[in-house]
Structure 1
Amino acid sequence: MAGQAEGFGRHAIGGLHGNVYHVTTLGGTHDRSSIYNDGPGSLRDGCRQQEPLWIVFDVSGTLRLASGLRVSSYKTIDGRGQRIVLSGKGLLLRECEHVILCNLEVEGGRGHDADAVQIKPGSRHVWVDRCGLRDFADGLLDVTCGSTDVTVSRCRFWAHDKAVLIGASSAHVGDRRIRVTIHHCFFDGTRQRQPRVRFARVHLYNNYTRNWGIYTVCASVESQIISQSNIYEAGDKKRVFTHMPEQAADKDRSCSGRIRSEGDMFLNGAQEYTGNDDAETAEDSPWDFEVRVCYQPCSVQPASMALKELLECRTGWQPVPLPEDVS
């Protein structure tokens, strides 16, 4: 798996050069350590260790987190071969690098600032692959506060309002360094933020978004987004792209971002307008983001009904075995 990511997170190696760590317990209610899921053989114990680890699961089931699960650098959390559901709180990738999350379900998060996957601050080289994210108090996946070089692939987002936030606010000008790739993901009825972007450079390709509630992709302050060979299928709301002008903390006037659509498919009356809603300042933000010179190759397929059907059934958690060379 390590080294197989595409896009900006392609250099993520996770725990490639470390030992295999086996999660043997999902915790219980018998003592304090099991309530907080931090005893020997627990996922939390593996995630806190400082050496590289490839974390696999000997058990299936729901891991109910009383607090966010912080993941340290050079970790792979590999849910293949089991069905692991994290609930209550989410995964925290803070000031870390080279992290891979694979084949997990994260759902039912509650409480203040509860995101299913939170990548901040200053994290880099992250790959989130084949995860199912739903029903959290805040967002499903955030990349903010200077985190960068992230790829999100083959994930399913559903049963939620705010799906993906890239760039925290107009005050965080350090988010100009953020680079994110999202590909082969399924946004199924999420209302907004597929994604919402501030400052960052974002490549979206071969994703399927249907029945959104407000908009799909939002370009805010100085962001630059390429939407390539995606499928947008409208429900009641038809507008696909939107722009939200904001004023960067180090600028004297507001501007929005830019979206370029290439080969996208628009279904059921979806409106593909990508023009800048803030035309007065559009020329002050020159287009300097070309995906083709950022990374090669990437497996962009033409948008098609066959791709739509594939993404409906082959995103999120999948019953795939753990390879023998990992276990």
Structure 2
Amino acid sequence: MECDQAIAIRRGIEASRQREAIDGGHPHVKNTFAHEPTIGAAARKKLGETVVIASGRSSAPKKSTEHEPAIGAVDDPEMVASEVSRVINASTARRDLGFLSCGTGNPIDDCWRCDREWLRNRKRLADCGIGFGRNAIGGRDGRYYVVTDPGDDNAVNPRPGTLRHAVIQDEPLWIVFKRDMVITLRQELIMNSFKTIDGRGANIHIANGACITIQFVTNIIIHGISIHDCKPTGNAMVRSSPSHYGWRTMADGDGVSIFSSSHIWVDHCSLSNCADGLVDAIMGSTAITISNNYFTHHNEVMLLGHSDSYERDKVMQVTIAFNHFGEGLIQRMPRCRHGYFHVVNNDYTHWEMYAIGGSADPTINSQGNRYLAPVNPFAKEVTKRVNTNHGIWKGWNWRSEGDLLLNGAYFTPSGAGASASYSRASSLGAKSSSMVASITSGAGVLSCRRGHQC
């Protein structure tokens, strides 16, 4: 299987180079919903049924309209980077002093993984985020929804008990799974706002079909699921809420597609081998954290920013922390445009073209990462400025602090250097890159059993 995947990846390298030579852009603007006639009251009532366990106080916000701009960018992203550094240091200091017997120095994990009663306290996870996506609460203020059915027979009228039925509801929901499942989606899984997909306690795969689309919504947490072998789908009707469905043109086959959305957190997922990107965020999306994930066997891993000409992506702010970029990866870990990107304490053990790339003047703040270069003597550089000459990119603010560069790896910095606020962040610093192995040791889907620490 790995050999087949490797062959498929390598066949895509030349096509990727050609795309980068043209623009380096995202191939398609995602489709929006065509408005359909309102369904009848009886049908809406049927679609509104939920399968739930344990009640909680629900404070469902008003549903955002499809064309509201994504809101969530902060005025001073350097202060958020400084806060990430502070919580990392606080967590590792407590570990050194023995306060956390199960601590790894990973502040997200040390916030909740020490709890043997995690099953009863699932929603504590929503208070453990860091970085730009730290305020994503998902379905914390809603009820639990138990997915009992792995099927996806009807994208317009999904059955209660299915994942699709859960994610389209208007109310906040914390979605869990009754048992192990492989969910093969016939069409994109269009998520509604204020949802958590929590795979802990079961072995959950979204695979071999369509995958997750987060479009014109806010407050989404995706945790503890495997997402792989995603395929292009579309030219079909798909429901986005109990009261609305619309026509979808062809999707690219991303694992997680984030489009004009905010307050998004993807944590402890395992992602591989999709038709397009593993995680893509475009069209003014912001307030995003991508953490503790395990990425493998893929060409164009992560695209952050739609195109060089789409200046609305200047609001984009993304934290990429504690991930393991593993075997079979080629490029785009991530590939950035316009916004501010904090890349902190990740483990890069494989790439074949480059690790971090960008265009259109993004700010890239790399702290405490471990970069292990490939054997190829022509692929030692961590960074790539895509189709931009030195006279332009020399002013882009790309910085490396405390990164561990192995096997000839080198990071080419640029820009005016540290601002005053960045200097304050640097005085704290991300944790030493020597601790990356420990901090990322649990990257990907965790094995969580009742009565035991995850």
Counterpart code for 2:196: T
Is 1:307 equivalent to 2:450 in the alignment? no
The match for 1:232 is: 371
Find the counterpart in structure 2 of residue 68 from structure 1: 188
Aligned to 1:194: 333
Give the helix-richer structure, 1 or 2: 2
Task: Report 1:1-40 matches (<5 A).
Answer: 1-27=125-151, 32-33=153-154, 38-40=158-160
For 1:2, what is the secondary structure of its paired residue? Answer: helix
Cα 1:228–1:36 change in 2 (3 A) is same
Task: Measure, in 2, the Cα distance between the counterparts of 1:154 and 1:86.
Answer: 18
Q: Secondary structure at the match of 2:299?
A: coil
- What's the CA shift string for 1:116-141, capped at 9, x where partnerless? 00000x20001100001100000000
Q: 1:133 is matched with which residue?
A: 271
Residue 58 to residue 130, structure 1, CA distance change in 2 (3 Å): same
What corresponds to 1:279 in structure 2? none
Q: 1:171-210, aligned counterparts within 5 Å? A: 171-189=309-327, 190-210=329-349
**Contact persistence 1:27–1:37 (CA under 8 A):** no
CA shift in 2, pair 1:290/1:181, >3 Å: farther
1:90-137 deviation per Cα after TM superposition (whole angstroms, max 9, x unaligned) = 1100011011000011000122511000000x2000110000110000
* 1:318 equivalent in alignment to 2:435: no
* Counterpart for residue 116 of structure 1: 255
* Equivalent position of 1:250 in the other structure: none
Q: Distance in 2 between matches of 1:50 and 1:158?
A: 34
Aligned counterparts of 2:162 and 2:150: Cα–Cα separation in 1: 6
Q: In structure 2, what is the Cα distance between the partners aligned to 1:246 and 1:292? A: 28
Partner of residue 46 from structure 1, selected from 139, 144, 166: 166
Distance (Å, rounded) in 2 between the aligned partners of 1:323 and 1:200: 42
Look at both structures and tell me which one has the larger radius of gyration over its CA atoms. Answer: 2
Using structure 2 for the length normalisation, give the TM-score: 0.62
Alignment of 1:213 with 2:342, yes or no, is: no
Cα distance in 2 for residues equivalent to 1:293 and 1:117: 34
Whole-angstrom distance in 1 between the partners of 2:304 and 2:263:
15
CA distance in 2, matches of 1:222, 1:61: 43
Structure 2 counterpart of 1:73, one-letter code: S
Q: 2:345 touches 2:439 (CA, 8 Å); kept in 1?
A: no
Cα 1:110–1:18, aligned 2, differ >3 Å: closer, same or farther? same
**Compared with structure 1, are the counterparts of its residues 262 and 81 closer, same or farther at alpha carbon in structure 2 (3 Å cutoff)?**
same
Q: CA deviation at 1:308?
A: 2.2
Identity of aligned residues (%): 34
CA distance in 2, matches of 1:5, 1:63: 27
* Residues in 2 aligned to 1:271 and 1:63: alpha-carbon distance in whole angstroms: 41
> After superposition, what is the alpha-carbon deviation per residue over 1:263-309, rounded to whole angstroms, capped at 9, x for unaligned?
0001111122224xxxxxx67xx977956889xxx9932101x5225
The answer to which structure, 1 or 2, has the higher relative contact order (CA under 8 A, 6+ apart) is 2
CA distance in 2 between counterparts of 1:265 and 1:204 reads: 13
* 1:55 alignment partner, one of 158, 162, 175: 175
Q: How far is 1:323 from its partner?
A: 8.6
Indicate which of 221, 239, 244 corresponds to 2:386. Answer: 244
Contact 1:36 1:65 in 2 (8 A): no
Structure 1: distance between partners of 2:265 and 2:429: 16
User: Across the two proteins, how many residue pairs are aligned to each other?
Assistant: 301
Give the aligned residue type for 2:192.
S
Give the distance between the partners of 2:397 and 2:403, measured in 1 at CA: 16
Moved more, 84-93 or 19-28: 19-28
Deviations 1:9-55 (A, max 9, x none): 00010001101000001017xxx44x989211000000000100000
- Relative to structure 1, is the Cα distance of residues 293 and 186 closer, same or farther in structure 2, using a 3 angstrom cutoff? same
* Residue 155, structure 1, aligned to residue 293, structure 2: yes
Unaligned runs of 5+ in 2: 1-124, 233-250
Render the CA deviation track for 1:200-236: whole Å, top value 9, x for unaligned: 1000100011220110011311100100000000112
Change (3 A) 1:26 1:299: farther
Contact persistence 1:221–1:245 (CA under 8 A): no
